[in-house]
Amino acid sequence: METVINRFVLLNPPSVFEGILFFLLLILVLYGSFRSTKHLAGSKKRATLISLHLLSFLLIIFILFNPGFKVEHYKEEKRNLAVLVDSTWSMNLPGDRDGNVRTEKVKNYLEQNNDFLSQMEKNFYVEYFFFDQELKPTSLDSILKNEPLGTKTKIGKVLEELIDKKNKGGLDVAIIISDGADNDGSTNMYDRLKGIDLIINTVSPVTVDSMNDVWIDDIISSEVAFLRYPFSIEVVIKTSRPENFKIPVTLYKEDKLMSIKEASINPESKEARVKFEINPLSLGRKIYTVYIPVLSEELITENNQKSFFTDVIINKIRVLHVAGSPSWDVKFLRKALKRNPNIDLVSFFILRDPSDLVFASERELSLIPFPVNEIFSKELDTFDVVIFQNFHFQPYGIFGFHLKNLKDYVSKDGGAFLMIGGSNSFNSGDYGRTLISDILPVELDYLPTTLSETISNQEFHPELTAIGKNHPITRIVPNKDENERHWKKMPELEGLNIVQGLNQSAMSLLKTPDGQPILAIENVDFGKVAAFMSDSSWKWNFVLGSEGNVSPHYEKFWNRLLLWFLNDPELKDIRVKTDKPIYNPGENAKIEISTLGDDLNNQKALPLLIYPNGMENEIELEKTSYNRLIGKVQVGGSGIHKISVNPGTDSSLYNDLNVSETIFIVEPPENEVRGPTANNNILQSLAERTGGKYITTDDRLENLKIDTSKKKTITGYKTMRFWDNPLTFVVLLGLLSSEWLLRRRWGLK
């Protein structure tokens, strides 16, 4: 429908300065007219000349303003309405005292007002949008099915996009449905609305006046830590409650309780800070979670816990090496350990027994005294690995409580212990009667025995066990078949400590031809232990070793044993990693799986995503190279997720290294759950400043301020200027000539 409207316009409207100037000229013209006609007799004549003079001046000024008529052609059409629905994560939080989720309240609200929306679609060109950090076109059906997963609410940025649509003629009125939890930090949000003729109505699903909330605002921690080096974290707790109160703060490592402390909230700052100290005892990614209890009348519980990660790496492997007597075995092992730049070696080399008969003073014979109490009572937990090599504990003042400390160091503190054979080790060293026998992977005889019953002096060739053929400790060559060939070429060993067999959970990696264990390993609670039942491994040093150097096989064997003690991920045949350690719910995690040299076609790797509730989901991967697979998987709800890859070997053979794993955190975006995460004041201000109206989901949409009349769009216009009409010139000429003739006739100049 088109309409025509004629209206008077000034094509050259004066500015403020020009208006003042014309007004002053008008006063000056009036003053001149009065002054020039003051000698004229008769008031009618005087009034006539002044009127003609004033009319002439006004007509000239009028012509300068370029007046005319503008004939405009309008087309009436429907207005443009935009409905914006918040799709950020905070919409998953409760919006009322009954715990109803905000996004569900919005969906129900739109369904209840479906008739109104249908009427709006008849009267308006309606567009639907999601928004978080920007506008995203959608439909009403999609809104009713959507799960809000946006990571940040930027209302200021959304307003910029609305203004841009308004300036382009594509928007007349908007409805914003949101909790107002803006976390953009924009200070000039409202300044952007100045001079913009855009009505914004706002609807909030948060129908409570205030929210009492206590939340974990931040955890200050390092993303990298060193093994057995304690580090501190600081937990920042904030609240919207004004009173002073105390609250317990609990620290967990995955599902293990680490510590509990009490925080006292300062009523002025409404904040408390708590510090924890953590001593990482194993390598790899560690995930910790801090919890605070949910208080009464607290609606939001999602921010009462927060997880963080730390990647634990090796600074240096700190090794305590105690050797009982000089030997070739001790010499070459110490040499191999000292060659490794990643090992910090503390070695005690026992040159004599305290019971030896000598004819010299103690000062002349001892370099330093053996600091038993210092080591086994104070400094033990500073070492990553403790090695007893052909060492008899009794002559050196090592008592039962010292050995108990060593046992606790392994089983409780996650330490590692290695015993190497000789005439003073295992049964020969009377360890069967000590607490050390509880943690060794081999069974010892409790009763004292003769040396001939505890040591065999025969030569034998070491053989890989079924487990040893696959275990990374004995993988001195990457290729499995080649590795077995190299072990068959290793020199024979001489001398074997005789034990009563393996513990039930221990594993033998090397054995004698008649099945006696040579190398046995075991996980003991939180720690690891190994036993090497011979003192002649030094012979392996001459395999591929040049003169004066350590053999690469000999060195690699002992180094890989130390790495196994630390559970180093580098020992894994299959490695798995994700592109980042923290994800938001619904985000896609990128997975990469690789092998060390072997073709993945030879591996039966089965990658699984394990959810916090224990459910498993197989991950589909794409092969990008002979030893690399990549893929992605959508993560679920909050919690610690694990990706586990089984290399396809018999899991019953060795449970500690048959599976490669990595863990990551899934939790809501911290900006979306930090604090009460609702701000109806922003929504109220937006509506007031733009001429709209603010309501909640308890009100009807009909209450919004929406003009349903059609808008008029100019389709064309025509301008007719007065100056284009000759009559204007005739009138001006008539006024000027009439004044001139009358002045002459009445005797004026």
The CATH number linked to 417 is 3.40.50.880
The per-residue pLDDT for 602 is: 47
Q: What is the CATH number for 112?
A: 3.40.50.410
Boundary of a domain, candidates 314, 345, 373: 314
Residue 610 lies in a domain: yes
Give the residue from 402, 395, 442, 407 showing the smallest Cα distance to 421.
Answer: 442
Are 343 and 382 within one domain?
yes
Are 8 and 64 within one domain?
yes
pLDDT tens for each residue of 632-649: 888 878 899 999 887 655
Boundary of a domain, candidates 277, 293, 314: 314
Q: E strand or H helix at 715, and its extent? A: strand 711-721
CA distances from residue 121 to 118, 190, 454, 708 in whole angstroms, order as listed: 5, 29, 94, 11
Judge contact between 170 and 138, C-beta under 8 A: no
Helix (H, G, I), strand (E, B) or coil at 703: helix
Give the residue from 670, 566, 543 showing the smallest Cα distance to 342.
Answer: 566
Are 394 and 480 within one domain?
yes
Angle between helices 16-36 and 43-64 (to 10 degrees): 160
Residue 282 lies in a domain: yes
Are 156 and 276 within one domain?
no
Are 515 and 603 within one domain?
no
Enter the pTM of the model: 0.75
The domain of 114 spans 79-210+679-709
Q: What is the CATH number for 664?
A: 2.60.40.1930
Question: Strand runs (DSSP E) across 371-453, as ranges?
Answer: 385-389, 416-420
Length of the chain: 749
Mean pLDDT of 326-343: 91
Are 330 and 414 within one domain?
yes
Q: Looking at the predicted structure, is the pLDDT value of residue 518 above 90?
A: yes
In this structure, what token pair is assigned to residue 713?
A: 């769009």
The per-residue pLDDT for 544 is: 60
The per-residue pLDDT for 722 is: 67
pLDDT tens for each residue of 417-433: 999 999 899 998 889 88
Are 310 and 321 within one domain?
no
Are 588 and 625 within one domain?
yes
Residue 239 lies in a domain: yes
Are 122 and 91 within one domain?
yes
Q: What is the CATH number for 255?
A: 2.60.40.10
Boundary of a domain, candidates 513, 546, 565: 565
Are 396 and 446 within one domain?
yes
Mean pLDDT of 498-520: 93
Q: Is the pLDDT higher at 297 or at 109?
A: 109
Are 369 and 260 within one domain?
no
The total domain count for the chain is 5
Are 529 and 480 within one domain?
yes
Residue 605 lies in a domain: yes
**Band (364; pLDDT cuts 50, 70, 90):** low
The per-residue pLDDT for 746 is: 74
Most confident of 52-66, 342-356, 697-711: 697-711
Candidate from 92-101, 214-223, 442-451 with smallest mean pLDDT: 442-451
Residue 714 lies in a domain: no
Please report, rounded to a whole number, the percentage of residues in the chain having pLDDT higher than 70: 87
Query: Using CB atoms within 10 A of its CB, is residue 374 exposed (0-12), middle (13-18) or buried (19+)?
Result: exposed
Judge contact between 567 and 283, C-beta under 8 A: yes
Residue 22 lies in a domain: yes
CA distances from residue 71 to 64, 248, 719, 726 in whole angstroms, order as listed: 21, 77, 6, 20
In this structure, what token pair is assigned to residue 168?
A: 């382009």
The per-residue pLDDT for 526 is: 87
